[in-house]
Structure 1
Amino acid sequence: MVRSNQKTTQKREREEDADPTEHSAELVILKPQGYPLSSMLDEYPEIDNAEVFEHYARKQWNGLVVNEGEYLFDRRMYPDFAYKIIEVVPPASSIGIKTTIVINDEEKVLNIPGLKSDVTFEDVVGQSSARQKCKLIERFLEEPEKFGKWAPRNILFFGPSGTGKTMLAKALANKTEVPLLPIKATQLIGEFVGEGSRHIHQLYERAEEMQPCIIFIDELDAIALDRRNQELRGDVAEIVNALLTEMDGIVERRGVCTIAATNRPNSLDPAVRSRFEEEIEFALPDEQNRYLIIEKNINTFPLPVKDIDMKKIAKLTEGLSGRDIVEKVLKTALHQAIMNDEEVISHDYFDSVISKLTKKGDTAALDRLYI
């Protein structure tokens, strides 16, 4: 008799664990709603362990087809307590043993305002090849209806930090008078499982509302590293899958162009990298462009300069990006002169800053520091 009861219990557990449909939901987000009839004696379930609740929820609702806006009722520990279904991915699918079930008390929404840029192409010194390749994106954003299925939808900007990737995206938005939705990849990582993928879909829905529009994802490698290097980063797998879904155009987003930026292109997951139709390289400035960067920025100094050898500065800053020249050389020299109550800035200040960066004349140190 005991063995019979054990077999019955084991059979019931196997049936509860079985996934009755191949169309199981990947994600279900619930929001506590309370009891249909309130009472002073009603207990309100407090969830201290999300993982335990998720297992409990899958057990009791396994096989149930769910839709956004409907309600689920607890029938075990807190009978008749209601949870509203905030989101189901994909829609109208069933809860299975692998469904991620999340309780969201505050239903967070990714809020990224569209940026109107005042950066122009003239502000991006050098990068003539990148600027030339961006003409196609420019044409598309100006007349997206003409491109149809041939639209440039996914573009990868790659190159060392500080070489103008973000600036060129802003210049594109300014030239074509379209909104720019800039976001760092790390902003897409949520606090709980399932939130990250929802952020991706919210981002693209927002862009579609504003189309034509540019989505600019900076530091893409923060979420899209080669999966062979992600054994400890399972939390971002869902974000990558959601991003691939959007980039593949399964849900067509007319007039939306995704530009992603990275300084580590070879570390990207091949599945993600293959989705980019065009890869545009940004290079460190050569001596002539370093001179132009120095000249352009020195002319905006709040103090006058005296006897400055800009050609020498350009030569000594080999290996630095445009941003490093501005932030680590020009700004540092200016600040030192101001702190010393100087009325004009002499060349000595620039020599002092560069010598510290190059470690007493070791020009190769620049390459080690900034590339």
Structure 2
Amino acid sequence: MSETSLRNRVTSTVDLLDRPSHTWREAAEGGEANLTRHDSLLQAAGCMNAVELRQPVNPATPASSLTVACWNLERCKHVPESAARLQGTGADICLLTEMDLGMARSGNRHTTADLAHHLGMGYAFGVEFIELGLGDRREQAEHTGERNEAGLHGNAVATRFAIDRAALLPLDRGGMWYSPDGIDQRRIGGRMALAVRLCLAEPVWFVAVHYESRLFPHDRERETAYLLRHVDELCGDDAVLVGGDFNCRAMADEGFDDAALLDRPQEAEPMFARLAEAGFDWRACNTAQPTTRLHSWDDRKRMLKKIDWFFSRGLKPSAPRVIPAVAADGRTLSDHEIIVVTVSL
């Protein structure tokens, strides 16, 4: 991937994202699946070129210390139960990844809007992918004959505070999931981060990140370089908290113990060295606990891994913890746990 191939940052905001039209979907589902066609379709999709922004109904008074939760909700198929779990963390801000909008697999809900409503928060939501089908193979089987009302999937930040600015930060050129070769779910789009600026005691940026799941350490270093370029150009000298699913599996694959996981992850994942060079710290805002969770249908021998992280710059983090992604009735809500940290300005 060349440096010039990165998609443009998106800073336009709207009250409600456009849904892909029937004509657009017919064009996306037919014809040759190549990158040129993908890029044309992406540019023609209005939902890929704006961020949906809703302010909280009753914004909270800006504070100098707050709690942040970060969670890959794996489609957010259980909105009320997930909201209750987040409320239990005391979070003022939630960095959310893998959120559906109009997908049959999650009840054709706007999961971000519904979750934010339950939490009494506003939100910013950006589209990572326009899904051309019902999801992965399991979801295709479970929802055969159903229809997506919008087919959007992305990342969000929900917060009790007024949102000053919002931006979608692309982390690749897009198109990896469009080719039918070896892909069980075809999509338009690519990996991205969703950033918001809150004016608290001072301006602070909060960034929800989702890295590609099918790549390797050197690819994640490249995604990190793109992320840091956006942060440098967008955030300037403001404080920043980045959190999300980085899919950084190499430490577990290489058998790092807890101490090595926090003290020298850069030996397996060079993305950590890039972040350290840019002034970001992870030691004070993370534990070494695994952040993945098995569903009942998963291989019980599959290794649990820490792939969800916070990175802090210009803030004082404390009390990092991992909260099980389990509802009150014992149901698993996601294949990722919730990570939580307190930050002071």
Tell me the TM-score normalized by structure 2: 0.29
Highest RCO, 1 vs 2 (Cα 8 Å, sep ≥ 6): 2
Tell me the TM-score normalized by structure 1: 0.28
Structure with higher Rg: it is: 1
Instruction: Select the structure that is richer in strand.
Output: 2
Instruction: Select the structure that is richer in helix.
Output: 1
